[in-house]
Structure formats: C-alpha cells, structure tokens
Amino acid sequence: MKYTLYRSFGNLDNDVRKHELIAVEYGPDINAVTNDLVRDVTDDLAEMPEYAGCETTSFIPEPVQPFRKVKYYNYVMTWQIIPPNAPQNILIEYGVIEDNG
C-alpha cells in the first residue's frame, strides 16, 4: 500500500487544495508505516523556524471521522506543538491518503 502524507494549515478541513505534500511511504498497512510517518512529520516540523525550541507530541494515525468535511484523506495525524513560553499549545493536523499505489 502507498501512504501519502500532507500537512494542513492547522485544521484538516480548511484549505484542502493548499495542503502541502510531505512524504510518501510504502507498507502492507497503516500500522507498518506509522513510525515512518511520525518521523516524516517530526522532520517536517524541525525544519520550521517558528517551532524551533518547541516540544512536540503526536497521536497515531486515526481514520478520518464522518463529521469531517474533508473526504479526501483516509487517516488524520494530529500533532501538538508545545512552545516554551506560550499561553496555549498549537495543533496541526496531517492527512494521509491510502491507496494501492
């Protein structure tokens, strides 16, 4: 299976046509590529100067829920960015498309 990872601008449902391609991974199922996808997102966030010095945590890929407006993605990965001196954390959602590629 082919898993294509895209970064949203925070909320997966907004500006779908502007989401950025981050990585493509191959494996038998989503569980087999989860560590690779986590590494891809970690590398992506590390390259962003606005998040320098921030800690990050992630949630494993979950199927996109029916309440979502976006139907383009099969899975969503949510990342929490924890700035050292900010009043709140930042959430960024990544979308994953699964296909037989």
Longest Cα–Cα distance in the chain? 44
- Count of beta carbons in the 10 Å neighbourhood of residue 81: 17
* DSSP per residue, 1-31: -EEEEEE-SSSTTS-GGGPEEEEEEE-SSHH
**Least confident piece of the model among 2-6, 31-35, 71-75, 85-89:** 85-89
What pLDDT does 32 receive? 97
Among left, alpha and beta (phi > 0; psi -120 to 50; other), residue 28 is alpha
What pLDDT does 76 receive? 95
The residue that leads in pLDDT, 3 or 47, is 3
Render pLDDT for 23-80 as a digit per residue (tens, 0 to 9): 999 999 999 999 999 999 989 988 889 888 888 888 889 999 988 888 889 999 999 9
Task: Report the alpha-carbon distance of residue 56 to residue 79 in Å, rounded.
Answer: 7
Domain ranges in the chain are 2-99
